[in-house]
Amino acid sequence: MTTASDPRPTALFNATQPQTWDVLVIGGGASGLGTALEAASRGYRTLLLEAHDYAKGTSSRSTKLVHGGVRYLAQGNVSLVREALHERGLMRRNAPHLVRDQGFVVAAYTWWSAPFYGIGLKMYDLLAGRLSLGHSRYIGAAEALKKIPTLKKAALKGGILYFDGQFDDARMAVTLLRTFENFGGVALNHAPVTGLIRENGKIAGAHFRDEETGQTHTVRARVVVNATGVFVDEIRRMDEPQARPMLSPSQGVHVVVDRRFLPGDSAIMVPRTSDGRVLFAVPWHDHVVIGTTDTPVPQTSEEPRALPEEVDFILKTAAEYMDPAPTRADVLSVYAGLRPLVKAAEGTDTKALSRDHVIRISSGGLITLTGGKWTTYRRMGEDTVNRAAELAGLPKRLSLTPALKLHGATAEPLADHWKVYGTDADRVQALPGADLQLHPALPYTEAEVRWAARFEQARTVEDVLARRLRALLLNARASQEAAPRVAALLAEELGHDKAWERGQVTAYQALASGYLLA
């Protein structure tokens, strides 16, 4: 049973009409959505299929930064940093409701560290050029403590203040989805590709399963793009069963704690941890995200889990800079994401692998896009569609996305948790339940669940609490307590029965338990 507010039947009907799409994109994370929007905005008929939900994987589990990559500068990868800083500026301009300027303090506890890191960050400023978010500068100990009152005071010499961008990754994915649909693109989530169509030796489309009905459908396309992140090798093997793996996945873990551990507006950047990485503590939705780690993993997983030693490492490093420092008891949520790092020579440390994106075209014409990071999603899409149009003989058209304002874009100041809706905020607040909070520890309202179901393709309790709203990452236990009400609202919107509600709550409680520290 469906209701008048359920958008899925229309999307499924449009996806499966007898026709040949210009571009079929497999994967609804940053790279897939960026590619799909790039194609649709050029006027190519584009279909996107996502196996689970938009940004279900790595694309909702980032450090929430739009950045050039300070550590890539330290590795000497100037071209990657320059490109990322340029794209950072475009994201800030094109999605001002989702991307904001964020000040970072690099605290100096030795006489040499401030000038040492200050020189590198001046280079960072120069590479940003006219799209700079602000100039770095030295600050004394008093100003550093004013910006971050919880910095350890003992031996503090001062620090460097520099600027990067900060955003909401899953909301950016939803915004790209909405913008894609505005250009006539068709997208389906919970629609895994089960096989590829080959005609005369060339990939000509795909089979997919609608997870809600179990039915399998076939779609045809002039060119197929595999943009499935850490799962690209699975799709590649549908094309070439003997294909060698492209990726060396690496796990990054973050913990989320209360805002009292970072009460100012600035973030902390630790330029070199004991394992040679960069660690951040960043204010986000009135909480604090601290991470990340770099742990090679032997296999990919839909729900990677943080290892106890990764959490201990983050908390131990944070305690070297923060006073008071969070402990395990203070962690409200812990999440893990997998980086799609392209394979390098044997013995290469994953933290030394580049985040450059890679495009490969198989003998059958399957285009695989992988690597990269959120900040460069637009450039990844542009490069991929250039190759796809050439391969499929599509009419050559210029990219519009460098100056394309994304859905809802507005510079109007909105209260924090409504900002992500941009110009849609008034419409969300006009729905029933805008004054009814889902949980006292969370800012979200019942109206937002209805909006997510009607306009953002939310199909499950997880879709709502993990990605349309960020409850799972902000406070996993509170999100568990909100799950029954969310299930009831979704059932009302989408026409499901009580058994569906119960099943959804059970599934969500099990999922969210993995975000709690034992």
Indicate if 370 and 284 belong to the same structural domain: no
Report pLDDT for 4: 67
Report pLDDT for 353: 46
Residues 6+ apart with CB under 8 A from 499: none
> How far is CA 506 from each of CA 1, 181, 462, 480, 516, rounded to the nearest angstrom?
21, 32, 11, 10, 16
Mean pLDDT (the chain, rounded): 94
Indicate if 151 and 257 belong to the same structural domain: yes
**Over the stretch 173-227, which tens digit does the pLDDT of each residue have?**
999 999 999 999 999 999 999 999 999 999 999 999 999 999 999 999 999 999 9
Report, in this order, helix, strand and coil percent for the chain, each rounded to 5.
Answer: 40, 20, 35
> How far is CA 416 from each of CA 165, 168, 258, rounded to the nearest angstrom?
16, 12, 16
**pLDDT level of residue 348 (50, 70, 90 thresholds):** very low
**Residue 236: inside a domain, yes or no?**
yes
Question: The domain containing residue 397 runs over which residues?
Answer: 8-58+171-246+352-403
Q: Above 80 in pLDDT, residue 345?
A: no
Q: Pick the range with the lowest mean pLDDT from 65-79, 194-208, 322-336.
A: 65-79
Q: Above 80 in pLDDT, residue 347?
A: no
Q: Above 80 in pLDDT, residue 313?
A: yes
Report pLDDT for 352: 44
**Over the stretch 349-401, which tens digit does the pLDDT of each residue have?**
445 445 588 999 999 999 999 998 999 999 999 999 999 999 999 999 999 99
Report pLDDT for 81: 87
Indicate if 158 and 179 belong to the same structural domain: no
Q: Tell me what the mean pLDDT of segment 264-281 comes to.
A: 90
- Domain closes at, from 338, 368, 403: 403
Indicate if 459 and 393 belong to the same structural domain: no
Indicate if 158 and 35 belong to the same structural domain: no
**pLDDT level of residue 120 (50, 70, 90 thresholds):** confident
**Residue 410: inside a domain, yes or no?**
no
Indicate if 196 and 330 belong to the same structural domain: no
Indicate if 255 and 155 belong to the same structural domain: yes
Report pLDDT for 467: 98
Indicate if 239 and 313 belong to the same structural domain: no
Domain with residue 335: its CATH number is: 3.30.9.10
More reliable by pLDDT, 34 or 341: 34
Q: Identify the three-state secondary structure at position 514.
A: coil
Report pLDDT for 355: 56
Sequence letter at residue 298 = P
- N residues, the chain: 518
Q: Above 80 in pLDDT, residue 73?
A: no
Q: Above 60 in pLDDT, residue 167?
A: yes
Indicate if 259 and 334 belong to the same structural domain: yes
